[in-house]
Amino acid sequence: MKRFLKVMMCTAALCAGISSFPAYAASKFDAAYYAAANPDVAAACGTDEASLIRHYMNFGKAEGRKPSEQGQAGDSLELTEEQIKAAWTPVPIAELANYKSIKKRMSDAEFEAAYQEALKIVTPVAFASREEQLNHIAVSLRDLFDTQMSYSMSTDHYNDPYGYLVLHSASCAGCTRTTGLCLNILGIPYEHINENQYSHQWTRVEVNGTYWICDAYGMYCGPEPAERQHPYFQ
């Protein structure tokens, strides 16, 4: 089903005016090489691998520095989960941009449980491009729905991330807030379209000056066809 969703998303993206998600060259990161090749960086950041990875992703990539001897200037990084965890700090619950909307009626313990499940989803793409992050979230949440979940508008927590990620029963409102939780953990703000309305709901996200839809339930991830409009729902 994951492969089918990816095909559907690419088809939807074509309808929205783009042919595919961007392709990026990826290189492994060599901390020893990066420090030796960039003594100014080593002097400012030290030689700790996590610090050097953060420098490359925040500054070095845009400056045209190479992540390894074999890599090319500006390459994306192919990092292990351990490297990502060491170099990346997820946004904590209390600082989530859409905290009040996402929390809904979850207890603190339920929110923490949902947060930890969402963290597992987004960690692999912590340093990916915004487009790759949105696509990964949409594919992952749709795959979860197709393999483990049921649709509901009446079960406990049907409209929040605890229902989606822990109880595995949710509506499109629950999917939207779960998508929003994943986005906020990555530091990405969003707009919840049709929040608290009896109609289809989805997240609206700014991507390099263009607004995208990230909607696992509606099986679409790509630029919106018109302002706050969905290609499949009126």
CA atoms within 13 A on the CB side of 21: 21
The pLDDT > 90 percentage for the chain reads 85
Query: Cα separation of 103 and 14, whole Å?
Result: 35
Q: What is the pTM of this model?
A: 0.86
17 with 132, same domain?
yes
- Judge if 50 and 165 occupy the same domain: no
What torsion, rounded to 10 degrees, do the Cα atoms 44, 122, 202, 135 define? Answer: 90
pLDDT digits (tens, 9 = 90+) for 43-61: 999 999 999 999 999 999 9
pLDDT of the residue at 6: 40
Residue 138 lies in a domain: yes
Note the pLDDT tens digit of each residue in 166-198: 999 999 999 999 999 999 999 999 999 999 999
Q: Which domain holds residue 93?
A: 2-24+89-223
Both 50 and 15 in a single domain? no
Same domain? For 14 and 70 the reply is: no
Task: Give the domain CATH number at 131.
Answer: 3.10.620
What's the number of domains the chain is made of? 2
Comparing 30 with 1, the larger pLDDT belongs to 30
